[in-house]
Amino acid sequence: MEHIITPKVEHVKLLNKYPEKKSALGTLYLTATHLIYVEQTNNSRAETWVLHHHIMSVEKLPLTAPGCPLLIRCKTFQLLHLLFQKERDCQDVYQSLLHLSQPVKEDELYAFLYTPHQNQEDRRQGWEFISVANDFSRMGLSNEYWEISPLNKNYEICSTYPSILGLPKNASVAVVTGSAKFRSRGRLPVLSYYHKDTKAAICRCSQPLSGLTSRCVEDEQMLQAISQANPNCPFIYVVDTRPKLNAMANRAAGKGYENEDNYSNIRFQFQGIENIHVMRNSLQKLLEVCSMKSPSMSDYLTGLENSGWMRHIKSVMDAGVFLAKAVSEERASVLVHCSDGWDRTAQVCSLACILLDPYYRTIKGLMVLIEKEWISFGHKFSHRCGHLDSDPKEVSPVFTQFLECVWQLSEQFPCVFEFNERYLIEIHNQVYACQYGNFIGNCQKERLDMRLHEKTFSLWPHLLKNQHLYRNPLYRRSLESTVLRPSTLPLHFKFWCGMYNHYDGGMHPKQSVLDQLLSLTQKQVEGERTMTELQRQLAVADGVLPDPSGLISTPTKQDSPCEKTPTAPVVQSNGSCAPLINGDAEEAVPGAEKCNEEEGAES
Amino acid sequence: MELSEHIKTANVEDVTLRRPFHPALRGTLCVTSHHLLFSNRKDEASWQLLILLKNIDAIEKRAVGSSGTITIKCKDLLVLQLEIPGMEECLNIASSIEALSSLESVTEMYPFFYRPSHLTLLGPWGLSTTEQYYKQTERLWDRWRVSKVNSDYSVCPSYPSAVIVPREVDDDKLIRSARFRQGGRFPVLSYCHHSNGMVIMRSSQPLTGANKKRCKEDELLLQAVIDGSELGYIIDLRSAQQAQQARMTGGGFESKSCYRHWKRIHRHHERGKVVQESLIKLVEACSDLSHSVDRWLSKLENSKWLSHVHSALSTAGLVVECVERDGHSVLVHGSEGTDNTLLVSSLAQIILDPASRTVTGFLCLLEREWIQAGHPFQQRCAHSAYSHARLKQECPSFLLLLDCVWQVWRQFPLALEFSEALLLRLAQEVYASNYGTFLCNNEQERCAAGVKENTHCLFQSMLKPDIEEQYLNPLYEPTDLAIWPSVHPQSLQLWTGMFLRWTEYAQNMEEAREEVWSIVKEHRERV
């Protein structure tokens, strides 16, 4: 709170991206959690809410005649160009936002303030709702080849891995621990996905510490054990997702890649996905293209090409397709790694899972997949998303790229995903929002130490509650058993306008097929519900059923207790009080949530 | 020479047919005067592929030992391979295809021989005439009239026999104005906006020449169009510089001093060869199977196809802005007034006029603004993207229109009554058809060749109730509002339905379309 110097500034202009359009005039509020811009004209008011955590950068531009400009760039790809009358106000807001958008300590994050209407039991159930262990059972594990092992329960073998690991049954503890010592940060080869039909597995790890000549018998035995766990194929693929040059450079630093001579029956492959720094710069360039004022078609296409973004997306997709093909067609197990095995490896393994297993194409399945391959396997969300004021070189859109790959697939296969584009965008927003605890911290152990399960809430139940918004009406369950074989020809990759130009409403189709189909199918569902309800009421009236409420009446709608006007922020003495109103996620207000539920019940 | 004399080998057995995303088939190949027929009778159900020879854009021969391979590239972008045993047979087939696919005489073309049992040659041809259009459009009765000054096509060879002009301008003035316009294409009415009576006119360029000639009657004609109102806009589809240069070759533009109430706006549009080459490059880029994203994007950019889509939609938007938002009448022209002029005026109508967004309305619009208005289909669509022949007057203006309409449909998926399938069908028919609709270059030629007496009309057949359903948009919800498409580069996309038509991708999209239909049908049953 102490960071908010001026909670309210009047007569602030919100400049339109297109100079010919009139800019808005309104009032800017700073609250503990949000920046709120309220545009008030005669009869209408428009509110723009920006979560502080969504702010990527704040930049003061040179003073102009009409006022003091402030440019706010968001991690959700929103761009706000504000114009202040007084330089003093601009400076105050600038200072405040610098602090608010980049908290120093974890417990300053929104999730630690946020309390939805849930009791402790709901909270506990919410956290248990998505379980990686259950997913292993779903795959049919443990079985004769694989076991789900508690070996890492104290995070002693690998501090950034989850507490339970899928390991080949015939790998001894000595082999496991020995292999871990030969892998960067102890990230030994473990099971990511087991394909029941072919008995082939996808395993993941980090690069071996092979340097120029080192070898490790246990690690070689570990790969042997993985190979032996698949009776259908005499070899395994070892996929290094990095470009060969990068992998070779690592050898000089005592790391590197597997020497085919030392490992029996492996087929080694490079996949050529670039590192986090290249990806960060590429996104930067892409966003420059997205924010060009009025580019010609050639400017745009040339910019898109020069950003390299689509090339990187394709490289991730290619690697995912390679894995899925190896497993489903060659019935071969695959071991995947990059350097540390928490960025490219996570992308590629999770993408392969989606291609192979229709379960991960459902609303709940995608949650499980993200929980498994990203959260529990230690994708460093805090660092990659820049939740806290930390090294900017650690930030990279690795997870965004994964979501985009899923989107690209959904464009090629419109009927195989249970969810629509909005689900992916909402997950993306939530990853950066830090409103829920799921994406805070860099690995499971860190989260445990932070006691996130006690102090914050889980995102997944919230998404599930709103799943009607995220449904894909074209989803056909009958197609679900198929392995997806997407084309990775360059012309099949599209620019994701819905994500990177999400806030440029004018660019999107003016009518939405999705909304139309959702409303058609929604009416159907509601119609059925009403019919059942009417039948029940008739039955009650006829005395067939006992009357639970005592009266036959339609539920009355209660007045919404949620407030429409942003009020000045309350000075909060500690982190435990409820946040103020929230515009882009209504349920942040306990009252609003209640009123939503009431509406839901009535319809 | 009889057509059959081109056929040296009519039948070949044991031919292997390869198509994208289908297993190879073995069967018999026949060449007839107008078709290539492949049939496979090995399985119990026989399967046939019938291709109009006119649909074939290019063929490539290759000898492999004693047999030969012919690659057939169609104007609808399908590519087929035939493996023919026997080199001589292969060469004979190839030369027959080459000769018969490039017939120039209209009356030898297949529409003159197509006689399906369910269609009759009796009855009126086409959907509507200028007179009927005038009768239906009450707004026109007061200030506009139908002129038959061109009834023998002597005033303007590329105009229909009847045109709509301001009531107060008599036929003599029209004749004089026609002499002052390239190809005699004097300003005629294209569209009258239902809500404010403002009109879109179209013409060719005025022949002012280097000496800045004037034509009183032409000036009066345009004066009569705005009828005392303050202002009209001339949208010249050339850059100001190009319009200046046109004066050197006898063309020109309406100068401010002579047309005082008209404000001229220049918008540069590529035409002719440049656009044809753009299509060729785009199709080439789409068939590039290399895996470099950079190369694809660079080829896509370099083809400039999307830039043409962008310009066409932007200028159409400008016309709509003048008519609807500012309430002024507009005259559109480029040089000849037979390509970009028609493209822009018809796109503007789709954006403005709900009537042109129905299946019937859209086909009527095409009939009025393209067929009757004298877009030279025969010249423009002689070849498509694969041909190696030297370009003459080819230009995919019509395909560009369909692409632009698709872009509008993508942005307003509920506003058009027709579906993408209709656009795809038209894209195919315009290059090779059983029907006479797209034959010849103008009404005069159609009349001379007896097209209306001896061929069937495509549009009429498409509107038959049993056929029409596949062309309907299940989500159609009519709106009276103008539908302004966004022309941000991010908002315009490659028309995958067309350019990736023969890939697996198209099958997934078909599945999605079926699913949309089934949801809508289920919903309708419930309501």
Q: Can you give the three-state secondary structure of A431-493, one letter per residue?
A: HHHCCCHHHCCCCHHHHHHHCHHHHCCCHHHHHHHCHHHHECCCCCHHHCCCCCCCCCCHHHC
Q: How far apart are the first and last CA of chain B?
A: 63
Choose among B285, B512, B522: nearest Cβ to A415. Answer: B512
d(CA B187, CA A514): 44
Query: Is A242 marked within a binding site?
Result: no
Q: Which residues 235-294 on chain B approach chain A with CB closer than 8 angstroms?
A: 285-286, 289, 291-294
Tell me the longest C-alpha to C-alpha distance in chain B. 78
The dihedral formed by the CA atoms of A551, A557, A559 and A565, expressed in degrees to the nearest 10: 170
Chain B residues close to A414, C-beta within 8 Å: 508-509, 511-512, 515
pLDDT at B248 over 60: yes
**Final residue of a domain: which of A503, A521, A540?**
A503
CA distance A483 to chain B (A): 14
Choose among A474, A494, A511: nearest Cβ to B414. Answer: A511
pLDDT of residue B166: 95
Pairing between β-strand A8-14 and β-strand B188-192 as defined by DSSP bridges: unpaired
Report, in this order, helix, strand and coil percent for chain B, each rounded to 5: 45, 15, 40
Whether B3 and B107 have beta carbons less than 8 Å apart is answered as no
Whether A429 and A489 have beta carbons less than 8 Å apart is answered as no
**Contact between B511 and A415 using a beta-carbon 8 Å cutoff:** yes
pLDDT at A602 over 70: no
Query: Is A309 marked within a binding site?
Result: no
Q: Locate A499 and state its tokens.
A: 């994500």
**Contact between B488 and A296 using a beta-carbon 8 Å cutoff:** no
**Contact between A297 and B310 using a beta-carbon 8 Å cutoff:** yes
Tell me the catalytic residues of A: 338
**Contact between B289 and A489 using a beta-carbon 8 Å cutoff:** yes
**Contact between B486 and A490 using a beta-carbon 8 Å cutoff:** no
Residue of B nearest to A495 (CA): B490
ipTM of the complex: 0.93
- For chain B, percent of residues with pLDDT exceeding 70: 99
pLDDT of residue A594: 34
**Contact between A298 and B304 using a beta-carbon 8 Å cutoff:** yes
Domain-located, residue A521: no
Q: Does B14 touch chain A (CB under 8 A)?
A: no
Q: Which of A518-522, A562-566, A577-581, B377-381 is the least confident region?
A: A577-581
Whether B163 and B188 have beta carbons less than 8 Å apart is answered as yes
**Contact between A521 and B519 using a beta-carbon 8 Å cutoff:** yes
pLDDT tens-digit readout, A147-201: 999 999 999 999 999 999 999 999 999 999 999 999 999 999 999 999 999 999 9
- Helix H or strand E encompassing B35: strand B35-40
Residue of B nearest to A296 (CA): B489
Chain B residues close to A528, C-beta within 8 Å: none
Query: Is A344 marked within a binding site?
Result: yes
pLDDT at B37 over 50: yes
**Mean pLDDT for the stretch of residues B218-246:** 91
B106 to each of B35, B54, B103, B449, how far by Cα in Å?
16, 12, 8, 7
pLDDT tens-digit readout, B258-293: 998 999 999 999 999 999 999 999 999 998 888 899
Confidence at A43, pLDDT banded by 50, 70, 90: confident
Phi-psi region of B224 (alpha: psi -120 to 50; beta: other; left: phi over 0): alpha
* Co-location of A139 and A202 in the same domain: yes
* Co-location of A332 and A370 in the same domain: yes
The yes/no answer on whether domain B3-103 falls in CATH 2.30.29.30 is: yes
Q: Give the domain extent around A63.
A: 8-102
Q: Which residues contact B77 (CB under 8 A, 6 or more apart)?
A: B283, B384, B385, B386, B498, B499, B501, B502
**Contact between B297 and A497 using a beta-carbon 8 Å cutoff:** no
Interface test with A, best of B488, B491, B527 (most A CBs within 10 A): B488
**Contact between A311 and B293 using a beta-carbon 8 Å cutoff:** yes
Whether A128 and A188 have beta carbons less than 8 Å apart is answered as no
pLDDT tens-digit readout, A379-411: 999 999 999 988 999 999 999 999 999 999 999
Residue of A nearest to B283 (CA): A491
Confidence at B174, pLDDT banded by 50, 70, 90: very high
**Chains A and B: how many Cβ contacts under 8 Å?**
132
Domain-located, residue A552: no
CA distance B264 to chain A (A): 21
E-strand stretches of A94-169: 146-149, 165-168
3-state secondary structure of A35: strand
Residue of A nearest to B499 (CA): A491
CATH number of the domain within which A89 lies: 2.30.29.30
* Co-location of A264 and A165 in the same domain: yes
* Co-location of A134 and A86 in the same domain: no
**Contact between B413 and A298 using a beta-carbon 8 Å cutoff:** no
Q: Locate A500 and state its tokens.
A: 């990177």
**Total domains, chain A:** 2
Mean pLDDT for chain A overall: 87
Count of C-beta atoms within a 10 Å radius of residue A563: 12
Domain-located, residue A587: no
Residue of A nearest to B526 (CA): A524
Q: Does B517 touch chain A (CB under 8 A)?
A: no
**Final residue of a domain: which of A503, A525, A550?**
A503
pLDDT at A38 over 50: yes
CA distance B32 to chain A (A): 37
Chain B residues close to A491, C-beta within 8 Å: 285-286, 296, 300, 494, 500
pLDDT of residue A558: 40
**Contact between B415 and A511 using a beta-carbon 8 Å cutoff:** yes
* Co-location of A172 and A255 in the same domain: yes
The vertex-B383 CA angle with B377 and B388, nearest 5°, equals 160
d(CA A406, CA B167): 61
d(CA B74, CA B50): 12
**Contact between B475 and A513 using a beta-carbon 8 Å cutoff:** yes
Choose among B295, B413, B520: nearest Cβ to A511. Answer: B413
Choose among B412, B491, B511: nearest Cβ to A507. Answer: B491
**Contact between A311 and B509 using a beta-carbon 8 Å cutoff:** no
CA distance B483 to chain A (A): 9
* Co-location of A346 and A385 in the same domain: yes
Query: Is A276 marked within a binding site?
Result: yes
Identify the residue with better confidence: A23 or A93.
A93
Confidence at A314, pLDDT banded by 50, 70, 90: very high
Give me the residue spans of the domains in chain B: 3-103, 130-480
* Co-location of A275 and A351 in the same domain: yes
Domain-located, residue A24: yes
3-state secondary structure of B325: helix
**Contact between A509 and B304 using a beta-carbon 8 Å cutoff:** no
Query: Is A339 marked within a binding site?
Result: yes
Q: Locate A22 and state its tokens.
A: 């009139």
Q: What secondary structure does DSSP assign to A347-391, as a single string?
A: HHHHHHHHHH-GGGGSHHHHHHHIIIIIIITT--HHHHHT-SS--
Domain-located, residue A211: yes
Residue of B nearest to A492 (CA): B505
Confidence at A603, pLDDT banded by 50, 70, 90: very low
Confidence at B392, pLDDT banded by 50, 70, 90: confident
Domain-located, residue A47: yes
Choose among A300, A513, A527: nearest Cβ to B413. Answer: A513
Domain-located, residue A302: yes
Confidence at B229, pLDDT banded by 50, 70, 90: confident
Whether A390 and A106 have beta carbons less than 8 Å apart is answered as no
Q: Does B421 touch chain A (CB under 8 A)?
A: no
* Co-location of A95 and A140 in the same domain: no
pLDDT tens-digit readout, B95-115: 899 889 888 888 899 999 999
Q: Locate B277 and state its tokens.
A: 């080459």
Interface test with B, best of A282, A499, A511 (most B CBs within 10 A): A511
CA distance B410 to chain A (A): 7
* Co-location of A91 and A227 in the same domain: no
Residue of A nearest to B287 (CA): A491
Whether A398 and A384 have beta carbons less than 8 Å apart is answered as yes
Cα B132 → chain centroid: 23
Query: Is A275 marked within a binding site?
Result: yes
Query: Is A338 marked within a binding site?
Result: yes
pLDDT of residue A547: 59
d(CA A255, CA A206): 10
A596 to each of A526, A568, A592, how far by Cα in Å?
16, 24, 6
Q: Which of A34-48, A273-287, B415-429 is the least confident region?
A: A34-48
d(CA B485, CA A291): 20
Chain B residues close to A493, C-beta within 8 Å: 293
* Co-location of A409 and A286 in the same domain: yes
* Co-location of A352 and A474 in the same domain: yes
Choose among B297, B410, B512: nearest Cβ to A509. Answer: B410
Interface test with B, best of A287, A491, A514, A529 (most B CBs within 10 A): A491
**Final residue of a domain: which of A478, A503, A528?**
A503
